[in-house]
Structures are given as C-alpha cells and as structure tokens.
Amino acid sequence: MTVPAGGPTARILDRGYRPYDGPRTGARGAMRSLIRHSVQRVLGLKRNVWTKVLPFLTIFFAYVPAIVFVGVAVLLKDRFATEGVNINDVLPSYGEYYLFIWAAIQVFAAFCAPEVLCTDRRTGMLGLYLASPLRRDTYLVAKAAAVGLVLSIVTLGPPLFMLIARAIAGVGPDGVGGFVAVLWRVVVAGAIAAVLPVAMTLAIASTTTRRAAASAAFILISLGSIVVTEALINAGGSKTLFVFDLPYLPIELVGRLFGEPAGKIGSSSATVPTSSLVIAYLVITVGCALFVRTRYQRIQVTR
C-alpha cells in the first residue's frame, strides 16, 4: 500500500492479519493435502525417529526377498543356464512372492489405519477436517487412499521391482508384450493384496479411538481367522470356509491371477472356485467399507 503521488512517500510492509483472497483448491485440494499428510504420518515422516522404525523396518523386510531374488537371478543365471535350468523356474514366482511378504502386509495394515483414523477422532482433528471443504465421505475416501498408497509400497513395490530388475537383467518376460502381460498382473495383484486389508483395518479402526486397541483387534481377527478356518476345515467343514481366511484370501486370488494352481499359494485348503473367492473378496471389502461409512455418518464430531 502506498500514498498517492505528490505527497510524502511511505509503504506499509506488514499489515498483520488479512483475509486470504487467493485461489482456493476446494475439496480436491483438501483431499490431496489430507492424503499427503496421512501418508507422512503413517511413515513417520517429519516426526521423530522412533515413529519411522516400524514402517521402515516393515518396508525393509518386504523388499529384502526381492533384492535377494534379483541378485540371485543376475549373478547365477549363466551358471544355471549352463546346467540347462531356467533361473525363473528356481526362484519364486510373482504370485509366490506374496507368501514372503504377507507378514509385512499384516503388520502394515495393523498399524496404518489406526494411525490415521483413530488419532483424528481422539485429538478432535476430525472436527477441524470437516470444517474444511471435506465431507465425511470425501474424508474417508482420502484416508482410504492414503492407507492404500502406503500399503501398496509393500504389495506392489517389491513385485514391480522384481519385474523391472529382472527385465533389465535379461531374465524377465520376453518382449514388450510379455512385459506388459506381467506388468498388468503385478499391478492388479498389488491392488488385490492391498484393498481387502485396507477395508478391514479401516473398519476396525472406526470402532475405537485407541490406535493400539485397533491394531490388536486387527491382528487377532486376522490371525484368528487363519486358525479358526483351518480348524473348521480339518474338522470336516466345507473347503469353501477358506474364504474366511482373511490374510490368505487375497494371496490365493493373486496366485490365481498369475496362473498358479489352486491351493498352491494361499493354503492347501484353498481348492475353491475362483468365482467364490472373488465374490467373498468383494463382499468382505464392500461390507467393511459400508461399515466404516455408516460409523462415520453417525459419529458426533464435536461436543
């Protein structure tokens, strides 16, 4: 601000508080910010070092097998070739790789959503978020996207890394067509392996404001479903009960996607039709999503 020409000159450099007149990004911008902030929170970015330990340790253990397998492929492919053995027949397939990382997926899922959902309700931030262009649905979509993004670091990242590294090392799929054929399967597999745990962990996290309780509940339900379905099937129950084996259901679907025989990846009990697996997967995922939405429609945000 300056005075008119002819008078004494002056400038005001800092008028203190002023209303914001710039562009507003609306709900989309709010969602983008929320996704970014939530991802940072889960990974412990911009926070003290202890908050980074669990996520980065989990990511490390998820990538180590991929790095090892790629290293073996690169270093020993010629030796295996001289013995007439295809290196890809020795190393785990893309579908089998998920058996190595399912624990990392469970750990990440157990701690992800509670970190981003429970904390907002416990601290009262949910009220502030809903005072922005965000609504309850857009808030949940943003949170689900954030959790999905984080989980895909371990569900999509390692197989993708393996695919690209193998392709570069010359032990990957043949040609562009072959590469793309594997690539889309890797991407879809990563999504399958992530979406169900995301829906489950969000549903559980929506029931409590205590992060640790939500994590404990997720692990109990997850591991408990394995033991219970196995016990019921061994007791003579139908093998279709396998669809309630929540950690292995997506793994088995991933195996089917890569053309693995039924029951090879997920569990020896998983000799159920693929259609049953898909239906169960969708029912559980959608059911969990509806549960979260219903919970959040009813939550009283401010007192």
Partner 1 sequence: MSPVRTPGAVMSLYRLMLSTQVTRARVVGLSALGLVAVVVGFAIGHAGLADPLRQGTRFINGFGLSLLVPVATLVFASASLGDPNEDGTLVYLWLRPVSRAKIVAAAALASFSVTWPIVTIPLVISAALTGGGRTLVIGTVAGVTISMVAYVGLFVALGLRVKRALVWGLLYIFVWEGFVATGNNTASRLAVRTYGRSVLSHITGETFRVTDISSPWRWLVPVAVALAGLAYATRRLTRQDVA
The nearest distance, CB 236 to partner 1, in angstroms, is 4
Instruction: Convert residues 168-207 into a mask of x (bound to partner 1 by CB under 8 A) and - (unbound).
Output: ---------------------------------------x
With contacts defined by CB under 8 A, name the span among 28-36, 102-110, 267-275, 284-292 that binds partner 1. Answer: 102-110
Cα separation, 148 vs 216, whole angstroms: 20
Q: Buried b vs exposed e over 269-281: b needs ≥16 C-beta within 10 Å?
A: bbebeeeebeebb
Looking at the Cβ atoms of 3 and 223, the one nearer to partner 1 is 223
Tokens 């209303």 -> residue: 19
With contacts defined by CB under 8 A, name the span among 62-70, 103-111, 125-133, 156-164 that binds partner 1. Answer: 103-111
Number of residues that bind partner 1 (CB under 8 A): 27
Q: Check if the beta carbon of residue 95 is closer than 8 Å to that of residue 268.
A: no
By C-alpha distance, which of 25, 60, 214, 46 is closest to 134?
Answer: 25
By C-alpha distance, which of 216, 276, 283 is closest to 252?
Answer: 276
Q: Buried b vs exposed e over 7-20: b needs ≥16 C-beta within 10 Å?
A: eeeeeeeeeeeeee
Looking at the Cβ atoms of 230 and 245, the one nearer to partner 1 is 230
Cα separation, 275 vs 278, whole angstroms: 5
Q: Which of residues 243-262 bind partner 1 (CB under 8 A)?
A: none
Q: Which of residues 206-235 bind partner 1 (CB under 8 A)?
A: 207-208, 211-213, 215-217, 219-220, 223-224, 227-228, 230-232, 234-235
The nearest distance, CB 44 to partner 1, in angstroms, is 13
Task: Give the one residue of 45, 75, 90, 103 binding partner 1; rule: CB under 8 A.
Answer: 103
Instruction: Convert residues 38-57 into a mask of x (bound to partner 1 by CB under 8 A) and - (unbound).
Output: ----------------x---
Q: Check if the beta carbon of residue 108 is closer than 8 Å to that of residue 154.
A: yes
Q: Which of residues 72-101 bind partner 1 (CB under 8 A)?
A: none
Residue 64 binding partner 1, by CB under 8 A: no
Q: What is the dihedral of CA 294, 102, 221, 121, to 10 degrees?
A: -40
Q: Which of residues 111-140 bind partner 1 (CB under 8 A)?
A: 111
Burial level of 94, CB count in 10 A (0-12/13-18/19+)? buried
Here the tokens at position 284 are: 């559980």
| Residue numbers at the binding site for partner 1 (CB under 8 A) | 54, 103, 106-107, 110-111, 207-208, 211-213, 215-217, 219-220, 223-224, 227-228, 230-232, 234-237
